[in-house]
Chain A
């Protein structure tokens, strides 16, 4: 088959994986929040309320799509896609198992992080185009917040790269399968990474973008039906992307400590997805319990605490690597 057909098939497969994971995350949020608060999530439809998901999405598809008439017409239409497409593209670089990865360029980590920095623009465009005051406040907060937390995110992703010696995600996973998981040597950057991931997904305690109580629905105030569905799905797909990134960088991707890569074979995918969903469960528990930071609080947490901490940690880490290399080299 020619190259284009293969690429198209891979893209469709990845789109299916993304929709499945996004929808699964929505369903999981309602179930986890339910059980965390002494109640049950959706249980009426399907075996354990699974069909509830299909009902929600089909209903959103067939709802009337009204939009404010004096809003910026084209930006209003394009904005959901600026939010949806980058988080869909960043799915391509996640190494599900040894062979199962859609695209494996050399700089897959940098490409992924680059794609993850586009949705804030989409959110700002959505907020700005819908011309409602609440949406505009939400949009301005989104841009401010995400920029603040992207830099510590990148810096937190550096130590595993230093250890593995390559920026390719597959290489990092292989490096971890031979030596120990990178969460042990660079624990502080793992914690910083989780905090920044929580912010990128816009979940409490950094719920600035879609602060239900303050901004009613943040940037998605004016969107109805499937446009809102796109952004809602994109936000939960990003849930999975962040968890996948954290797992590949720190928790050894699709490998288990004892077992070699070949013995795992098809089970690698299950191991990887299981780890991701454990992390997603952790994110959702945090979302269900903690209250929200105020805007200026989380700004100075981002600038004044996380940024210096990650910079200092990288310098300390690099120095330690150099010293160990000298000792091992020297002795």
Chain B
């Protein structure tokens, strides 16, 4: 068998290890405690609370963008907050994901007529999963995390098929 088959781009070892990495990335998502408004009470605090324990899925709260993989934008992003959100997104290490949580982050929500509001975080940073609701239930955030895990698996499969 050609050597690059063994160690090259699409060799067996590379494929298997890639699957393992994607499995690990999907299973241990650490989110950054960055609650802007009311959604943070439901999505970050109540979801990590004793009733809907996010820790079961391996989703753990880290206070620092350096250690976290998922950034949950929970709340309204207005003009003053937009650059702060963008800068914090830049400081997260590479395989990073964004969960746009709540009506305000998805598309401006109840305040989208106010000229000072950014209508939807996807104008600033690439968003992976949108979670409708105002505020969404803690379970809808967990459902969002399951969607994110499916998305990571799909990306992994797509990378394998090519």
State the A residues within 8 Å of B (CB): 30, 34, 37-45, 49, 51-52, 54-56, 58-59, 62-66, 212, 216-217, 220-225, 228
A217→B94 CA distance, assembly (Å): 20
Tell me whether A39 and B50 are in contact (CB under 8 A).
yes
List of A residues within 8 angstroms of B50 by Cβ: 37-39
A188 to chain B, nearest CB (A): 37
List 12 contacting pairs A-B, 8 Å CB cutoff, sorted by A: A34-B53, A39-B50, A41-B55, A51-B27, A55-B27, A58-B24, A63-B94, A66-B94, A217-B67, A220-B64, A224-B93, A228-B67
Tell me whether B66 and A44 are in contact (CB under 8 A).
no
Tell me whether A66 and B69 are in contact (CB under 8 A).
no
Is B12 interfacial (CB 8 A cutoff)?
A: no
State the total of A-B contacts with C-beta under 8 angstroms: 86
A134 to chain B, nearest CB (A): 9
Is B159 interfacial (CB 8 A cutoff)?
A: no
B5 to chain A, nearest CB (A): 23
List of B residues within 8 angstroms of A66 by Cβ: 66, 93-94
Tell me whether A221 and B64 are in contact (CB under 8 A).
yes
List of A residues within 8 angstroms of B62 by Cβ: 217
B1-39 near A? 1/0 per residue, CB < 8 Å: 000000000000000000011011101100000000000
Would you list the 5 A-B pairs with minimal beta carbon distance, nearest first? A64-B94, A58-B24, A55-B27, A39-B50, A39-B53
Q: How large is the interface on B (under 10, 10 to 19, 20 to 34, 35 or more residues)?
A: 20 to 34
State the B residues within 8 Å of A (CB): 20-21, 23-25, 27-28, 49-51, 53, 55-58, 60, 62-64, 66-67, 69, 93-95
Tell me whether B58 and A58 are in contact (CB under 8 A).
no
A222→B91 CA distance, assembly (Å): 10
A52→B59 CA distance, assembly (Å): 10
Tell me whether B57 and A44 are in contact (CB under 8 A).
yes
List of B residues within 8 angstroms of A225 by Cβ: 93
Tell me whether A64 and B95 are in contact (CB under 8 A).
yes
A325→B57 CA distance, assembly (Å): 60
Q: Which of B28, B50, B62 has the most CB of A within 10 A?
A: B28
Contact check: which of A38, A39, A56, A62 meets B21 at CB < 8 Å? Answer: A62
